[in-house]
A = this chain, B = another copy of it.
Amino acid sequence: MKKAVCLVSGGLDSTVTTYIAKKNNYDLFPLSFLYGQQHEKELQSARTIGSLLTEEEHIFFTLPLHQFGGSILYKSEKPQIKSTPLDKIGTLIPPTYVPARNTVFLSIALSYAESLDAGAIYIGVTATDYSGYPDCRPEYIEAFQTMADLATKKGVEQKQIKIETPLLYLTKKQIIIKGVELNVPFELTWSCYQGRTKACGLCDSCQLRLKGFQEAGIRDPIEYETTPDFYKIK
């Protein structure tokens, strides 16, 4: 059976991506990162999703990026996460940007994939309805693939480790519809930047998620403290 390393954050996008990898008949090796995030709610979701899809070990890789600072996603920074008007999300790189995060994650996944002799790495990046992160753009993924082919022993042997980004050109609405087709348990995913009992409903991540559910005409099964006015599904 073909092996794939799957980057699992516990969020909606990485969960749908992992279900797609499963459907593509890969033996899944889930990989999550502890990089000093504000909270562990998404990691709890990641653990649950991983356990539903594979019996292979789920690696939680400790990666002390927060010692560099530079992002309000880190626990050590402790700022208030502000709500951005929906039409402004994605127009600027937001303060939740973690310097070179996807590059670090993909590089470690590449090392793991080569050690396992895996043929693919699945990552749930999306360039549509995105949040302004430079490392989610198609040209970035393409450049990473070119670099990865030159970086590894497998590459030298002409055996590619393919960076698979099945959501790259999908909108959040399309991702949710794809998730419904694959019976993704949305109620187990966590997207909110806050780590409270219920999702806040106001951070960029909550707003983009709710906009996707609204456009798909599907009710988001997780609980929110509040929901934006545009979300009409009860």
Contacts and interface: CB of A to CB of B under 8 A. Distances in A.
A115 B99 contact: yes
Contacts of A70: 111, 114-115
A152 interface: yes
Secondary structure call for the A interface: helix
Contact of A93 (B101, B143, B153): B153
User: How many copies of this chain are found per oligomer?
Assistant: 2
A67 interface: yes
Interface string A122-155: 0000000000001101011001101110111101
A98 interface: yes
Interface string A28-72: 000000000000000000000000000000010111110111100
A158 to B, nearest CB: 12
Contacts of A135: 150-152
B150 A115 contact: no
Contact of A137 (B111, B144, B150): B150
Contact of A62 (B62, B114, B115, B140): B62
Contacts of A182: none
A114 B139 contact: no
A70 B115 CA distance: 5
A107 interface: yes
A120 interface: no
A143 B150 contact: yes
Given A63-B63, A147-B147, A150-B143, A110 B115 contact: no
A112 interface: yes
Given A68-B112, A103-B107, A114-B70, A155 B143 contact: no
Nearest to A109: B100
Given A68-B111, A115-B69, A146-B146, A100 B152 contact: yes
Interface of A: 59, 61-65, 67-70, 93, 97-104, 106-108, 110-112, 114-116, 134-135, 137, 139-140, 143-144, 146-148, 150-153, 155-156
